Structure formats: structure tokens, C-alpha cells
Structure 1
Amino acid sequence: MDGDFVIGGVFSIHYALQTVIYNYTTKPEPLRCTRSLNGRNIRFARAMIFAIEEINNSTELLPGITIGYQIYDSCASVSVAMDAAFQLLNGQDPVIYKDSNCSQSGEMKGLVGESGSSQSIGISRIVGPFYIPQVSYFSTCACLSDKQQYPAFFRTVPSDQFQADALAKLVKHFGWTWIGAVRSDSDYGNYGMASFLAAAQREGICVEYSESFYRTDPHSKIKRVADVIRRSTATVVVVFLSPGDVKVLLEELAQELPPPRQWIGSEAWITDPLMMSFSFCAGAIGLGIQQSVIPGLRNFLLDLSFTEVAANSVLTEFWGDAFNCTMIKSIDPKKRVCDGTENINTLISPYTETSQLRITNMVYKAVYAIAHAIHNAVCQETNFSIQCDKHFSLESKQVLSELKKVNFSRNGYSVSFDANGDPVAFYELVNWQRSESGDIELVTVGYYDASLPKGQQFHINRNIIWVEGGIKVPVSMCNDNCFPGNRKVLQKGKPVCCYDCIPCPEGEISNTTDSPDCFPCPSEFWPNEEGDACFPKPIEFLYFDEIFAKILAAFSVTGACLAIITAVIYFYHRTTPIVRANNSELSFLLLFSLTLCFLCSLTFIGAPSEWSCMLRHTAFGITFVFCISCVLGKTVVVLMAFTATIPGSNAMKWFGPPQQRLTVVFFTFIQVLICTIWLLLRPPFPMKNLTTYKDKIILECALGSAVGFWAVLGYIGLLAVFCFVLAVLARKLPDNFNEAKLITFSMLIFCAVWITFIPAYVSSPGKFTVAVEIFAILASSFGLLLCIFAPKCFIMISQPEKNSKKYLMNKI
């Protein structure tokens, strides 16, 4: 149709170009389309005409100016699309002018098309150098955003860069990490899949296979791609194919159905009604262009008179295919002649399917975008009217400049372009669901809006029906998840999504699924049995309510009671020879010190504190020195008693009761001095021992100064050895009540206990260190009490006849 300004249009009305093998002996024939018509793309072309008619009838947009159009069929072929571009550039005027312009009338000011990215690239290479704006309604290749190569290219459909990111987020959202990928061997498929694979890699998604083909490839190649899909372990297949390529692949797969596959589709085919006839793809999901409403379009599409159809070769072919008739009498008797009684209102075809207008609206907006650019170039708005100059010498460069700035809304849908000629990306998430009648219908289940902040772009607001009608999200992984408590170990030579799961090492956890690493717990925490959480380590010390501690406490109290009972017995028999002959004052001091020794073991039970740590070690050291000092005094008295019987010896005067008391005080004072220095310089203190056990904390008393501790023990040991040596020297002295033998045996037990204590103390872990120390205290204390006092108490109670002076003097 002619007009003041002409807009070109290129649509893939047929599926393919007829291939001819030339032998170079005849002139090549004109390019011809083949295969059946694409009713959906006829609707696109008619939508362009509808939009132009709306503009021509508008009083607000280009009033008084008519827009003409020239629409060409590209046959989904790059070569035919480029041929159409040349024809659009040259115009329809048969006269050749020799001045600046080859054609004067109907020079094209803009072009709507094409759907395929490869075709659009070919067209853009031709019209771009002339600054003729090209607005595509369905070419999504991200490569077309490069303004260096395609300076005059615009589109109303989002770039595949947005779609690739959205598809990767979609796959990640449902937890699929092991997928297959199939693409068209074209600019659309190759660039789109490259963008998707890059986005998938960023999301941690692995691709089992990535196959490409083109619908004109040999059947063997297409069959090989189908076989790869059949044999693969990936349940999810991401398909970046043009509708023509999808149709070829699905037809091949229908020959031998693959295992259930979850199809993820790009916008090029996922909303194409023709593809929904393949029932084994039910449950497919993908990104579709936003649904829209174009008032009046359906009536326009159905308003086709038989005369109008007969005058148009494309509509004639469409009419014949739709109603299985022919406009001219056919030699085929089965095919009737179209007579005009056919009712297009009853036709069920992609051409008449207007319930979900998606790409059609992209065509509609493309036409209006060019019209607005022309309007802004040739029209001036005043307060009262709009004045447009149809004779204005409009150059395509001016239209291109104005097109970059357009910003308007039509039917509630905004139209604008960014610096790359791209619109704001908005996709609907669509799902192929079976209706009650068994047919597959397109259901919108969510959306993706690239204009929203990161993390809020993807939204699902309706239940999805998956492959085989399932409501549970299918699983597509190279192997099972590594649950918390385990970590991933990559399998050699395989993608990062293929891994083995091994438990976390001791002391480490992982609290997320598929964690690549395990993390150590803080020093005072330890993993639970599952290895997915850290809990405070149990604190260990010798509790009072433990059975073991109760037993030790019972022995301690029992020993103290025995010492007190012994003291009572001695006090009751204090005037008897057996008590008087064995230094009763030192005996009472010894029993008092033994009572303290038994009771000091109680300070080792319970939670260590600053005071208990200082008390337990110092009390132990002082009371034991007090005890050994008393034993040493008794031993020296025995030796001196027999030495004093030698004529002329006055040694006994130096070991009277005052000297004995002074000796005990002196030896004890030295230990008090050692303990005081220890406490002043580096006293014992409570500490948490985190090294002995990995899974628990030992609350113990640190020595503060090891030198101080071993000085206390060493001093006790020195006195014990000295006392033992003296007792050994006095063991054979006569007298029935000689204590030397008893002291010798008691000191032998004492030294044996504390010699074995040292390695046991060093090697015992945790609370058993404390238990060993308590045991050594009790054992040595019981040794002294029983060996020294038990025989005498036995005589005093059971054999009182031996408790006499005559028996003592060995006269009976």
C-alpha cells in the first residue's frame, strides 16, 4: 500500500527456502519459499497492517499523513531476507533517476522485522549504513545490542542476555544442577546458548551435553541429537531453538519417545501453539513475552472477504490450506474449489488465536515506535492543534535520531529503548498444562522483571504442572545432594556438579546442603553426631554428685573419723604405759594432722575456683609436712631414747617436749614459706583445658608455677625419705612398744604411694588427675593411721593386760 511515508516489513511467512542444486548450465531461478505457511506469522504481518490503518485513521498521531507499507516473506532464510532488504531500499518506482536519489517516491523510512536473529543481522548489514531504522519484533540475539556493528537496530522484544540470565535463575531456583542443552545452529541459538551457559556457570549449573543443529541439516545429524537426548542422564533439557528447528527435533523424538524430560523453552517457541501438539512435552516451562490485548485486532483478522483473499497470493494459499480447498480447479478430484462459503470465524488456527497475544503486540509496538519517530520529525504540536508536513524532506537519519528518544504508551504497554536499542526486559513464566479435554494449553505461572532489584526479579504465583503431570519438582542432578554434615569432593575428570560426599573431619561441621567445605567449631564448641551444628562442649570436673566422688568423699570422712576415734581412745588411755611410752604429745599432733590430711582431700572435689585451687594445693602440702614432721619427731625420739642409755650421754636433753614441738613447727614453717612464695608469685588458678580431650572441656586447677608445685612435693618427699631412713635404723631396737618398726612400715607405704603417684598424676587425663591425687592423699594417710596406731589401739582395747609397765619393761 502506498503512502506519504513507507514502512517496510519482513516476516517468515513460510518455513523454509526451496533448495535447488544448480549445474551452472542455466540461469538460476528466483528464490522461492517452500513448506507450509506459518499462520502465526501471517497474523504478525496482518497486525502490522492493522496498526498502520489505526495510525492512518488517527487524529493524534500523524494527522493528515498516510503511512504506506511493503511487506515481504523471508521464508525464514537469510538470503531471502537480504533480498527483501535490497528491494525495500530500491523502492517500487520503475523510473531510475540520475540525481542524488535512485528513487523519489515511497522511500522507506523504517523497517519492521525480522523474527529470526540471523535474518535481522543480514538485513541490518544492508540498511544500517543508510541509517534506516530497523525495529525487530522477535530477534533476541544479544549480539544485536552492539551499536558499533548494528547502529540502526532496535527491538521491542528483550535481548537474549536478559533471557539467558532469567533461564539460568529459573534452573537454579528449582535446584537443577545437571542439565542438557540444545540450540539452533544460527546466530539466535549460538549467541543465546553462549549467554545462557555463561550465566549457568555463574549459578553453579553443569551441562551434560550441548548440541546444535539446523532444520536443513541431514537427517542423520538431527537423529544423533535426538539420540543424545534419549541416552542422557539429565532430566532437564534447556532448548534455545527457533520454532522451525523445534518442530524438526520434536518430530524426530516422536518416532521413539525418550524417557520423561523436563523441557525448558526459550521465548521463540515456548508460546507457539503449533508446538503444543507434541503431547510428550506436556509440563514444559519457559519464558514468554508478556500477554497483551490489542482492541479491534481480532475483528480485523477475521474480516477477510473472499475477494480480498483471492487478490492476495499469500492469503490465497492460507485460505486453501486452512479450508482444504483451492482457488483454481485442481486435477485432484479430492480437493474442492473454494467458493467463498468458508467461514473463517469457525476456523481454529494460529492465525485466529488471539487469546494470548504476545509477539503480535511486539509487532504492533514496533509499527507505532516508527510512527512516533516520524511524527516527532515532521509534526509540530501547538496549544490547539498538531500540524504535520507531508511534503517534509524527511531523511532516514532523522527518523533514527527520533526513534532513540521515543517514549510512549499504547494500550497500557510502554515503549522505549535504552542506549543499545533494547526495551526493559519483562517475561512471563509459562507452563504447558493439560486441560480437562486433554489438550495442552499455555498457563502463566509467574514472571521475571529485570527492572526490579536483584533478588526480587523472579516471582512464581501459581502452581506448576511438571513432566508427566507431576506436582513435585523433578530432580536433575549428577548425583544425590550432600546433606549437612558432609562435604563435596569432586570426581576426577568430571564436571563440578559430579562429586562424592564424605563426612566432615572430627571437630568440623557443614550446615548447608552440598557444602564444598567443612568448618571447624569454635574452641569451646563441638559438633553434634550429625555434624551439622556446633554445641557447647560438656564441662568435666569431679562433681560432688558423681558416684566416684562420693566414694572418695566417704573414705575421706571415714579416715577423719577414724583419726578422731583413735585420738579419743588415746585420750581415754592417756595414763597407760603404751601411750606414755610412745610420746603422747606427738601422737595427738600426728592424729590431728592426719585428720586434716583426710579432710583436705575434700577440697579437690567440686568445680575449681580461685580460692579452691590455692587452698587444695597449699592445704595438702602443709598438712602432710605437719604429719611427716610429727612422724619424724617420734622416730628421732625413739633413736635418742636408746642412745641416751649409753653411759655419759646427755643427748636426750636436746630432744625434750619443747624441742619436739619446735621441730614440728620449724619443718612445717618451711613448707608454709614455700607455699606463701608460690601463692605470691604464680598461684594456682582455675582453667579450661581444651587440649586433653577434643570433645569436652576439663575444668581444672592450673599449677601456676610448676616449680612451686614440685617444690612442695619435693619437700614432702625429702622429709618422708629422711624419716624412712631413721625408722629403718631404729627398727631393730629392743622394747615391746618400740614404734620404729611400725613407722618404718608406714613410711614404706607412704613413699611407695607417692612414688607411684608421680607417673599416674602426669598420665591421668581430666578429672582422673584429681582422683589420683585424692587417692594418693587417702592411701598415704590411711597407711600412717593404720600402721602406727592400729596395733596399739588393738592392744588397748582387746589386750589390756599387755598395756602394763611390767610388760613394757619385758619382765613378764
Structure 2
Amino acid sequence: MAQLNAVLLLHFTFWPLLCIGLQSQYKSKIKCVFQGDEDTYSFYKGGDVVLGAVFPLHSSPISSFSSFKTKPEPTKYKFFTPRALRWMQTMIFAVREINQRQDLLPNLSLGYHIRDSGDDIPVSVKRSLLLVNGQPEKGSGQSCKDIQKQPSPVIVGDAASGVSMAVLRTLVSFKIPLVSYFASCSCLSDKREFPAFMRTMPSDLFQIKALVKLVHYFQWAWVGVIGVESDYARFAIQLFLKESERFDICPAYVHFYPVVLMQDAVEELVNILKSSSATVIVNFSGESELQSILKECRRQNVTHLQWIASEAWATSKALWGDFGDLLKGTLGFAIRRADIPHFGSYLRRVNASVAQKSHFLSEFWEETFRCRLNGSLNTHVHGEEAHNWPPCNGSESLDDVYTPYSDVSQLRVSYNVYKAVYLIAHALHDMSTCEPGKGPFQNGACGSLSQILPWQLLYYMKRTHFTTLGEEVRFDDNGDPIASYDLMNWQRESDGSLQLVRVGFYDASLEDDKDLEIDEPAIMWHRGEKAPESLCSKSCLPGSRKARQKGKPVCCFDCIPCAEGEISNQTGVNFLKAPHFLFFRFK
């Protein structure tokens, strides 16, 4: 039934690839006719193999009422993400770089077809189907072979775990590979449910181990745990709570909040933060959800919290401008970074005339400089004030402003995108060097390069390993990379700007007692020069012992004097039985 539904969705919602197979039987009777609205918002370049991709250029869709009497308006969004535009440009840069090489795919050119997922499941599923189907020439009644955009046998994306899961479930019947650069949910490692999934992003299983060890290192036994209502946060928090039990770490509370935070929901959350004795908060979310929370924290004067960031926002500099006073001292594990040669200069080539030629770049340019381009393709301008922006004068330059788009100091997700493109390129290269009769398929057959079959490409991708920018890239049986993280500390510079300082690392390939290293003197804390305390109850002094508080976690206890026949000469222990000839208490 799932396969039938997927086929019907492809056939009736978009132009069918199925007609290509039927054309030989019915000749000219079968025509490809686009059934929906033409969606031209994309980056596209043709090639022998066109790689598809989806990136969350927009986020937080604005809900609207549909009467079903008129055609629904296109979805509008609250946020435009320059960082995601950089991810898109990373893919374009990597494809161009590979096409210029003589040692990798010398006889095969790569193209790309990149779309905006809106960080939204329905949008991402629709646009992923657009990628794998291709696009016919404009107009109706065209032959199925008259295509304007080629179908993609593989997709790079999406960023969010929940969105990636939805796309995978839609495409699973066609065995089309999905390579994510940011989806970290451990649930995606289940090969029975997601056999065509790979990623250059480490699984949350490793991030959680690192976070728990970090909390244990600083003896924070009483922590608040919050997360956005998503598959990513639900699975991550479940793993965090399970791993915490090994180190006697107790959650002061566990709270999930909706993706679209209304005022009552954010007030409820901040009231929980405010009323709890926990001063350390572990938060599993993206940067867009966190903005509303921090805004309400400031309104209610909740400024004492030590934030621990999940990798989703551990290096999100966009939060610093408005909330640096609240986030100073934040700690979080960030995925591995790299310096991609010449990438910074490539990003800064964009100017007003270049931006006019692309919907995505037009919107970025106008939002960055708060001006309107003459003849702009942008129709997604946010807010009424945008209509009053003056015309761009053409002298605007990315060298004169700060934007996450051109910031190449922390290329982490961008580096994952870069590796994803190279993973596919190396798999195609291995296919191209296969000798007929010695191939991995039936009767020694090699993979077809004239018409790439997604399942054959996936076979090579799973067995590919390569070296790029000095890193050896390998994948385990689940299609996950070997995990390593940098421990980052948010520090304020003298001019008020954010400095992300590496103060340690976690490497899952090392032994259990050596996998976490922390340079404690290098850390700048949110308040004071020492690590904050986050305890339900302080350790009992010598001469007293712990007594569990009824109905509360093991971290909550009272300290009572030792009884006769018991001694305690250490801090934080229950009690020791004294020898039978000793009957005294320590005062």
C-alpha cells in the first residue's frame, strides 16, 4: 500500500516518470503534463548526473486559514536563514570544484538542483519529489523526454531529522539515497526502516554521551532538560535521560515546547526555568525556537542560567546580537570544522547584479542591506517595513557588513555539505572505474552510468571511503560517520562581539576514559570565574549522612547526623558502619 500511495503521489501531484516506460507501448499517445503550480525557486545546473538537494532557507511557516473556496496562497515564513544560503552555496562550490578536477570523475560532469525545504515536512516532501522526477519543458503536452530539469538519482538533505524521516518514507519504495548534512537523530540509523539513508553528521548517540560526560565532569547533578517538540529532541532527550542514570545525574524537569511558540507556551516554559533550583539547562532545539525563549527570559529577568547547547545551535552566532548577555559562557559540542580553500572569496563574489538573477540571492541581498533591488525576483520579503525600503544603489558590498552567509570562521555544517557532495562523487567515480564482468551486481555487471539507477549508486556510496581536506572520511554499517566534536565556549570580546573558543573535544574513537578532554582554565563562565553549582541538595559534611527525600529523585536528600555505631569522615557519602567498640558521632 505504501508503494502504491507513493506512485500515485508521483503520478497525480507531479509529472510522472512512469510515462517514460509507458511511452514505448503507447508511442505518442502519452504526454507529460505538469499538474501543479510551476515552482521556479531553485538553483539549477545541468550535467551528466544532477545531484538534488534541499536546504531550510526559510523556517517557521506562518499559519493561514484556507476556506477551500479559493486557491491557497503560497506559504510565508517568519525567518530567512543566511546560514542555510551558505550551505546551498557550499554544494554549488563543491560541484564546481569536482568538475574542474582531472583525478575525480574526469569523464562525467556533475550538475545540481537545489530547493528550499522551508524546514517543513509537506514542503520538503513535495520539493524532494520535484527533484527525483525532474521537470518538463514549459507548456503542456510535451513528450516525457523533453525535460527542462533532469531527475536526480540522489538527494543531499534535509537538515532536520523529522523532515528527513518524512522524505525517506516517501522515497523508500524507489530506493533513492538521501545523504543528510545535519540530521542527527539516532533513530535514522535503523536500516530496516531507513535503508537508503546516509549522513555526514554524527548520530546523536555520540553527542549525548559527550553531553552527559560534560555534565558529570562539572558535577552538575541537577539539570533542566528542554527541547522542541520534534523527533530530533524526543530521541535525544530519551537518550540523555538513559545515559544520565549511569552517572547519578537527575533531571530537575523535562519539558517539550512546540516548534511554533505562542506566547502562552513560552511563558509556561520560562516560568518552569524561573521556579526551578537548577541553574544548568540542556536545550535541544534550533536557533529559531530559542529566540522566543530568550526574549521571554529577558522580559521575566531570568538571567542566571548556564546554557548547555546541543550541536544544533552550539555555533549559531545569529543569537548573539540580541541575547549575548544571556548566552555568555554557553558550552556546547560542535561538529568538526574545516577551512575550505577559496570558499570565502567565492561567497563574496555576490553583488547586486548577481543577486538580481536569483530568487534566493535577491531575498538575501535585500534583507541584508534593507533595500529593494531594481527588477528584483524576490517575492518573499518579510514584514510591512520592507515595502518602504529604499532602492539599492548598487554600491552595497558584503565586505562592509557582517552576515552569517559570508562568515567562514566556523565551517561545520557547510563542511558536512561539502563531504556529502564528495561522498556521492567518489561513489560515482568507483562506478565509472568498474570493469565489466568484475562488477558487484549479477553476473559481474557494473553500475549503469548512462542512466544512473539509485539503488546501484547507494551500493557504492555505502562502501565508499575517501580523504578530503586532510580528513579520512569513513562510514559504519549504519551509514554514520565516526563521531568527533569540539567543545565550544561562548566568550565576549572587548568590543562586545562573540568569540567561539574551543575549550576541549570529544572523540568517540578513543577509549572511554580518554574520549573527553576539557581545558577548564580556558572557559569563561556565565557568572563568576568558577563553574556554577547545579544541585538539588549540597553534599553532606563529615559527621552527617544522606537521607532520601520521599517522592524525589536520588539527587535530592537531607543531611542528618550519623546515629550511634555509624561514622562519616568524608563529604557526600551515606555512612560507614563503625567497629563495634566505637560509639560516637563526629561533631
Q: What TM-score does the superposition give when structure 2 sets the normalisation length?
A: 0.83
Alignment of 1:296-695 (within 5 A): 296-328=342-374, 335-380=389-434, 391-510=449-568, 512-516=570-574, 518-520=575-577, 530=586
For residue 464 of structure 1, report the CA deviation from its aligned partner. 4.6
Whether the 8 Å contact between 1:15 and 1:33 is mirrored in structure 2 is no
Question: 5 Å matches for 1:12-51?
Answer: 12-29=56-73, 31-51=74-94
State the SS of the aligned residue for 1:336.
coil
What is the CA deviation profile of residues 164-212 of structure 1, one whole-angstrom value per residue up to 9, with x for unaligned ones?
1211111111011111111010111111111111111222111111111
* Conserved? CA contact 2:336–2:412, under 8 Å: yes
Give the drift of 1:424. 0.9
Closer, same or farther: CA 53–512 of 1 in aligned 2, 3 Å: farther
Q: Which runs of 5+ in 2 are unaligned?
A: 1-44, 377-384, 436-445
- Counterpart CA distance in 1 for 2:53 and 2:542 is 58
CA distance in 1, matches of 2:387, 2:209: 55
Residue 92 of structure 1 corresponds to 135
User: One-letter code of the match for 1:428?
Assistant: D
Q: Residue 51 of structure 2 contacts residue 156 of structure 2 at CA under 8 Å; is this kept in 1?
A: yes
Residue pair 1:379, 1:389 contacting (<8 A) in 2 also: no
Among residues 151, 170, 178, which one is paired with 2:214 in the alignment? Answer: 170
Residues 132 and 153 in structure 2, CA contact (< 8 A), matched pair in contact too = no
Give the C-alpha shift of residue 417 in structure 1.
1.2
Greater Rg by CA: 1
User: What's the Cα RMSD here?
Assistant: 2.7
Distance 1:488 1:262 in 2: 27
Give the aligned residue type for 1:45.
Answer: M
| Displacement after TM superposition at 1:98 (Å) | 9.7
* Residue 118 (structure 1) aligns with: 162
d(CA) in 2 for partners of 1:421, 1:3 = 27
Matching residue of 1:668:
none
CA distance in 2, matches of 1:343, 1:4: 35
Q: 1:512-556, CA deviations, whole angstroms, 9 ceiling, x for partnerless residues?
A: 54324x333567x9699759xxxxxxxxxxxxxxxxxxxxxxxxx
1:249 partner SS: helix
The answer on 1:242 being equivalent to 2:286 is yes
SS in 2 for 1:337: coil
Which of 166, 188, 196 pairs up with 1:152?
Answer: 196
Aligned counterparts of 2:361 and 2:285: Cα–Cα separation in 1: 28
- For 1:436 and 1:527, the matched residues in 2 are separated by 60
SS of corresponding position for 2:458: helix
Please give the alpha-carbon distance, in whole angstroms, between the structure 1 residues aligned to 2:342 and 2:491: 29
Q: Displacement, 1:466? A: 4.8
Deviation (angstroms), 1:103: 7.8
Q: In structure 2, the residue corresponding to 1:293 is in which secondary structure?
A: coil
- The 2-side partners of 1:183 and 1:96 are apart by 49
Residues 207 and 332 of structure 1, relative CA distance in 2, 3 Å threshold:
closer
Q: Evaluate the alpha carbon distance shift between residue 338 and residue 488 of structure 1 in structure 2; reply closer, same or farther with a 3 A threshold.
A: same
More helix per residue: 1 or 2?
1
Note closer, same or farther for the CA distance 1:464–1:512 as it changes in structure 2 (3 Å cut). farther
CA contact (8 A) 2:564 2:585 kept: no
Aligned to 1:789: none
Quickly say closer, same or farther: Cα 1:304–1:104, change in 2 above 3 A: closer
CA separation of 1:172 and 1:97: change in aligned 2, threshold 3 A? farther
Residue 115 of structure 1 deviates from its aligned partner by 1.0
Q: Is the 8 Å Cα contact of residues 96 and 102 (structure 1) preserved in structure 2? A: no
Question: Mean alpha-carbon deviation: is it higher for 6-15 or for 467-476?
Answer: 467-476
Normalising by structure 1, report the TM-score.
Answer: 0.61
Contact 1:281 1:467 in 2 (8 A): no
1:294 maps to which residue?
Answer: 340
Q: Is the counterpart of residue 229 in structure 1 residue 273 in structure 2?
A: yes
> What does the per-residue CA deviation read over 1:590-609, in whole Å, with 9 as the maximum and x for residues that have no partner?
xxxxxxxxxxxxxxxxxxxx
Sequence identity percentage: 37
Map of 1:52 onto structure 2: 95
- 1:5/1:66 contact within 8 Å kept: yes
Equivalence for 1:550: none
Structure 2 SS opposite 1:36? strand
Equivalent-residue separation in structure 1 for 2:171 and 2:160 (angstroms): 16
Q: 1:462 to 1:482 in 2, by over 3 A?
A: closer
| Aligned-partner Cα distance in 2 for 1:333–1:222 | 30
Q: Give me the whole-angstrom Cα distance separating, in 2, the residues matched to 1:54 and 1:509.
A: 71
Deviates more, 1:350-359 or 1:17-26: 17-26
Q: Which residue of 1 aligns with 2:18?
A: none
In 1: Cα distance, 2:387 partner to 2:147 partner: 48
Q: Deviations over 1:58-107 (max 9, x none)?
A: 111111211111111111111111111111121123499999x9989733
Structure with the larger RCO, 1 or 2 (CA within 8 Å, 6+ apart): 2
**Structure 2 partner of 1:208:** 252
Counterpart AA for 2:106: P
* In 2: Cα distance, 1:485 partner to 1:412 partner: 57
Give the 3-state SS of the residue equivalent to 1:475 in structure 2.
coil
CA shift for structure 1 position 38: 0.5
Any gaps of 5 or more consecutive residues in structure 1? 382-387, 532-812
1:228: how far off?
Answer: 1.1
Residues 392-442 of structure 1 show CA distances to partners (whole Å, capped at 9, x for unaligned) of 332111111111111111001222211111111111111111111122321
User: Partner of 1:442: helix, strand, or coil?
Assistant: strand
1:451 deviates by 0.8
How many residues align? The count is 522
- Looking at structure 2, the residues matched to 389 and 24 of structure 1 have their Cα atoms a distance apart, in angstroms, of 47
* AA matched with 1:372: H
Give CA deviations for 1:11-51 in whole Å, capped at 9, x if unaligned.
1101222322111212334x434223211111011001100
SS at match of 2:521: coil
Given that 1:10 and 1:112 are in contact with CA atoms closer than 8 Å, whether structure 2 keeps it comes out as yes
The answer to whether the 8 Å contact 2:181/2:417 transfers is yes
What is the alpha-carbon distance in structure 2 between the residues aligned to residue 256 and residue 189 of structure 1? Answer: 25
Checking the alignment, whether the CA contact within 8 Å between 1:261 and 1:467 is kept in structure 2 is: no
1:526–1:376 CA distance, 2 compared to 1 (3 A) = farther
